[in-house]
């Protein structure tokens, strides 16, 4: 039995943060019902690339869920939700502050008929404060909190981060964490609660070192100037002769000394506190003199926290990830085509064993089942 079996989750959210959170709950056994608008449904359904009737993104994020289509602006349609609201354990919504209240589905209204409900709102800036109504996306959130400024490349050619940090690490993951904490609290008190998950709030822990450094020393980190943002030779990306990149992270002295011995760095440059820029330039010259495969073999024999950067396709085929069974779960579409499901961050013991491939739901496919 999975830990969240018999738990009913109503998911009013779209796109990424809320659907990712409810996906994790579904993989742990919860019964997740998406409430979508008729005709179009979750905007993610229309994204590209297509995979059968839906988008690939939608299929990955909504595996194993149910779907009902209702016009929440229609009073009669909202009334059809009553029985589901009365027996739900968790509600997830991702509208701007005030929208659910205007629909008559705010926490106060719903808790009046179901005081055991865990009601989770995910927004960019939270339910209060001057920015509560400001529209934004991941790039805005990491920009507003100072995270992006720590390492975004030169101002003339800035680099967009490859991961949606605010949506997933600031939104979906904290939502799941707090929902589980609220369920534990409900076991003690018998009552549910309201959760205000602000993606921007949850980005500051990623900058613990920068906050501490700036507060204590008065020297606030710049753009790529510090230990974990590329400001030292001990945590840096070095291009190879064939256009690949070595990720070098020999931070501790014991790894640093092995790294220097392995690449043959001159003794005068090994004290990287004297002139870090000079040490970086020399290491760049050394690494750039040989192709990636040479460095892969060299670092495989040396214990110094160095590796050649893999592209995503290569990473999916890595024997290590294959051996850990990361991609054994499968999602299917209406044509019975399959692809690996997302390897969500929960222990395999809490997921169903890989077996029958699960599908994302067609829009409104479960209206009859849930809205009798």
Element (H, E) at 85: helix 82-87
How far is it, in rounded angstroms, from Cα 59 to Cα 62? Answer: 5
Q: Is 137 a catalytic residue?
A: yes
DSSP 192-210: -EEEEEETTGGGGGGGHHH
Q: Which residue among the candidates 167, 226, 272, 329 is catalytic per the annotation? A: 167
Q: H-type helices in 238-357, by residue range?
A: 253-263, 276-288, 292-301, 312-316, 319-323
How far is it, in rounded angstroms, from Cα 94 to Cα 306? Answer: 40
24 with 18: CB under 8 angstroms? no
DSSP 362: P
Q: Which residue among the candidates 137, 144, 294, 366 is catalytic per the annotation? A: 137
Angle at 20 between CA 15 and CA 21, to 5 degrees: 120
Cα dist from 129 to 97, 125, 133, 134, whole Å:
11, 8, 9, 10
107 with 133: CB under 8 angstroms? no
Nearest Cα to 123, choosing from 44, 40, 202? 202
Q: Is 347 a catalytic residue?
A: no
Angle at 60 between CA 25 and CA 12, to 5 degrees: 55
Residues identified as active-site: 137, 167
């Amino acid at each position: 039995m999975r830990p969240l079996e018999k738990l009913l989750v109503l998911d009013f959210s779209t796109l990424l943060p809320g659907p990712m959170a409810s996906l994790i709950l579904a993989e742990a056994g919860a019964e997740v019902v998406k409430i979508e608008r008729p005709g179009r449904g979750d905007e993610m359904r229309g994204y590209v690339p297509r995979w059968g009737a839906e988008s690939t993104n939608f299929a990955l994020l909504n595996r194993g869920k149910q779907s009902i289509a209702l016009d929440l602006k229609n009073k009669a349609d909202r009334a059809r939700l009553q029985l589901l609201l009365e027996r739900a354990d968790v509600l997830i919504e991702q509208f701007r502050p005030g929208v659910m209240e205007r629909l008559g589905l705010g926490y106060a209204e719903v808790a009046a008929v179901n005081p055991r409900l865990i009601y989770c709102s995910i927004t960019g800036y939270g339910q209060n404060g001057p920015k509560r109504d400001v529209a934004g996306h991941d790039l805005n959130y990491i920009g507003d909190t100072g995270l992006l400024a720590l390492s975004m490349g030169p101002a003339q050619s800035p680099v967009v981060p490859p991961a949606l940090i605010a949506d997933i690490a600031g939104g979906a993951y904290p939502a799941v964490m707090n929902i589980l904490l609220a369920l534990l609290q409900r076991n003690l008190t018998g009552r549910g609660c309201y959760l205000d998950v602000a993606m921007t709030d949850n980005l500051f822990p990623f900058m613990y070192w920068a906050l501490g450094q700036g507060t204590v020393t008065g020297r606030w980190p710049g753009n790529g100037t510090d230990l974990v943002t590329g400001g030292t030779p001990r945590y840096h990306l070095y291009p190879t002769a064939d256009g690949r990149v070595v990720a070098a992270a020999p931070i501790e002295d014991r790894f640093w000394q092995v790294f220097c011995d392995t690449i043959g760095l001159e003794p005068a440059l090994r004290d990287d506190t004297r002139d870090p820029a000079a040490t970086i330039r020399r290491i760049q010259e050394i690494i750039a003199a040989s192709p990636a495969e040479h460095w892969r073999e060299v670092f495989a024999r040396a214990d110094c926290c160095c590796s050649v950067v893999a592209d995503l396709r290569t990473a999916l085929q890595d024997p290590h990830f294959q051996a850990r069974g990361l991609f054994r779960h499968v999602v299917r579409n209406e044509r019975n085509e399959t692809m690996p499901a997302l390897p969500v961050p929960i222990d395999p013991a809490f997921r169903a064993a890989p077996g029958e491939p699960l599908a994302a739901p067609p829009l409104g496919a479960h209206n009859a089942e849930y809205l009798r």
